A and B are shown apart, each in its own frame.
Chain A
Amino acid sequence: TQLLEQSPQFLSIQEGENLTVYCNSSSVFSSLQWYRQEPGEGPVLLVTVVTGGEVKKLKRLTFQFGDARKDSSLHITAAQPGDTGLYLCAGVNIQGAQKLVFGQGTRLTINP
């Protein structure tokens, strides 16, 4: 069974600080996705990383896929209160078999 260990599970920081969320696994994934989920809604895709070592940027968010495609990180620069939410990583294990393996999520709170 493939598992994704996501850390930290909870993070509360002040506006303007930087933060990094990690997803780690002993398994190789063909791609890895990051989602954001708001209360009462389903997860919404932020980004997909496919190639080992790939880095993608979405404004102040930087996503990286590990060289071995077993881990990923999400880095937020100068966090804003609007970044508050639940962030989820999810791995796709085999190309063509599209079921997602989710991490437990990181509940992020940015205090003004």
Chain B
Amino acid sequence: EAGVTQFPSHSVIEKGQTVTLRCDPISGHDNLYWYRRVMGKEIKFLLHFVKESKQDESGMPNNRFLAERTGGTYSTLKVQPAELEDSGVYFCASSQDLLGLAPTDTQYFGPGTRLTVL
């Protein structure tokens, strides 16, 4: 079974440009999460989709970030316009819907997209 995939693996852009990151979750996983690790800091939650709906977007830094998951399959995270502080590694993770059968689901992480804003 294929794991979580992310594209691109690396992106280098100029400040003010737009970048779109893509995440393909494991097939059948309703939950999709975006996280970000800024250099020297811990991995931080950005948002959580259940199917195509945003369950929790409390971690989104500001309105320059737009996440979508049309059709409840893959997700995109667009940064427009990018700023220097947006540099970091963006991780996507997916998990099954356990319907309350277990206290914690297992999130499977993708390899991340390393974004560098110059």
Q: Which residues of A contact B (CB under 8 A)?
A: 4, 6, 30-31, 33, 40-45, 48, 50, 88, 90, 92, 95-105
Contacts and interface: CB of A to CB of B under 8 A. Distances in A.
Contacts, number: 65
Interface of B: 4, 31, 33, 35, 41-45, 48, 56, 58-59, 91, 93, 95, 100, 103-112
B58 to A, nearest CB: 8
A42 B93 contact: yes
Contacts of B35: 100, 102
Nearest to B95: A98
B109 A101 contact: no
Q: Would you call the interface of chain A mostly helix, strand, loop, or mixed?
A: strand
Contacts of B91: 42-43
A98 B31 contact: yes
A90 B43 CA distance: 9
The 4 closest A-B pairs by CB, nearest first: A42-B109, A102-B43, A99-B45, A31-B104
Given A40-B111, A43-B109, A30 B41 contact: no
